Amino acid sequence: MLVFMTSFNLLIPELNDYLKNLGGNDYKWMILGLWTIAAGIARPFSGKIADNFGRKPTLYIGISISIIVSFFYPLFTSVFGFLVLRFLHGFSTGFQPTGATALVGDIIPYRKRGEAMGIFSLTISIGFGLGNFLSSHTFALVGINGLFYTTLIMGLIALATVPFITESMTEKKPFILKNIIPRFNEIIAPEVIHPAVIMFLTAMCGGIYYLMVPDFSTHLGLTNKGLFFGFTTMTTIFIRFFAGRATDKYGRVKSLYFGVAILFIAMTLSFLSTEPTLFMISGAVYGIGSGITSPALFAWTTDLANPRYKGRGMGTLFIALEFGIFAGTYTGQLAYQNNASRFGDAFLVGMILCIIGLFYLSFRSKFARKLSL
């Protein structure tokens, strides 16, 4: 998971400028928007495949797609061709994380779900931060095509690790069409709707940062467009050692109250930023908030998901993640409109989303199942 997450995050900080140079400045939100739509479309299929045929097939499918698309990036040099590839690349993240998360959920004991999910989501966060942080350095060394091929090589490394993973499923269904294509009632796991809503709102905040950080970093005079996410990753790594155990001890909802409140503070600091130092501090605070919310959401979903259809439950959470990022990039672009005087408007949207999340937690906590309190 660490190598896979690093591979495709390596591209993100440099893609805004790349698309601008291709003549697609007004389509920057689609860099992640199309990617997340494809990932969301793939989730019901990956969830069903993970539940019926095992977790490892989804790992193979997801990583293989990433490798193939990375090979074709340098060959498609039009705005349309690039955006088509971004859409196809999204299918890779629609498959690999679903199987990986379900596999981890299979093997961890109930009493340590929060702690285990904290460690697992830590690899996601490290990959996210490492890829973003190294992006500008890699681009400076090997150029944009070298960046694409570096992503390809890291995908090959990730693929080479899969045979060494032990499959956690013992009962598998026949490989026929009805066991691959999901019915409508198999797309969403209604039992995990509460964590999915919070995931959607917090992912919208993440989508805003994904869109805004490269441009805002350049506006503030930073040459490394991924430095913000470097600070995010450092604090995330630190807080994850405590956040997973805290959600086991104090409950999922209490952890989420705390985490979403810290995300609000991060968005507020970003809104107030007029120089690099405060913006980097907001990145560090954002890392703390996401480091608390992520293991709580994964553990809460594992608590509530039907054990037989854990892939569907995790797929639902990831659908919320993908469409949250899509909605965040789109609303962020509507607020920002490539106008330097409107950077703060996008972060203001994020502040409002956090407030909505806190209100939602207050409303639903009265009716939550005892297991998740």
- What does DSSP assign to residue 165? S
DSSP string, 100-137: HHHHHHHHS-GGGHHHHHHHHHHHHHHHHHHHHHHHHH
Q: Please tell me whether the overall predicted TM-score, pTM, comes out greater than 0.75 for this model.
A: yes
pLDDT band at 133 (very low <50, low <70, confident <90, very high): confident
- What does DSSP assign to residue 182? P
Q: Which domain holds residue 107?
A: 2-165+185-372
- Domain assignment present for residue 176? The answer is no
Burial of 373 (0-12, 13-18, 19+ CB in 10 A): exposed
Residue 370's pLDDT is: 44
- Domain assignment present for residue 298? The answer is yes
pLDDT band at 365 (very low <50, low <70, confident <90, very high): low
For the chain, give the percent of residues with pLDDT over 90: 55
Asked whether residue 160 carries a pLDDT value surpassing 70, the answer given is yes
- Domain assignment present for residue 175? The answer is no
Closest of 321, 323, 349, 324 to residue 336, by C-alpha? 349
Mean pLDDT calculated for residue range 223-241: 88
Residue 367's pLDDT is: 46
Query: Who contacts 68 (Cβ-Cβ below 8 Å, separation ≥6)?
Result: none
Asked whether residue 102 carries a pLDDT value surpassing 50, the answer given is yes
- Domain assignment present for residue 228? The answer is yes
pLDDT in tens, 254-280: 999 999 999 999 999 999 999 999 999
The number of domains in the chain is: 1
Mean pLDDT calculated for residue range 229-255: 87
pLDDT band at 237 (very low <50, low <70, confident <90, very high): confident
Residue 139's pLDDT is: 94
- Domain assignment present for residue 174? The answer is no
Asked whether residue 369 carries a pLDDT value surpassing 60, the answer given is no
- Domain assignment present for residue 172? The answer is no
Q: How far apart are CA 109 and CA 130, in angstroms?
A: 29
- Domain assignment present for residue 229? The answer is yes
* CATH value at residue 270: 1.20.1250.20
Mean pLDDT calculated for residue range 225-253: 87
- Domain assignment present for residue 180? The answer is no
Mean pLDDT for the chain overall: 89
CB 104 within 8 A of CB 244: no
pLDDT in tens, 30-55: 998 899 899 889 888 888 888 888 88
For the chain, give the percent of residues with pLDDT over 70: 96
- What does DSSP assign to residue 78? S
More confident residue, 159 or 133: 159
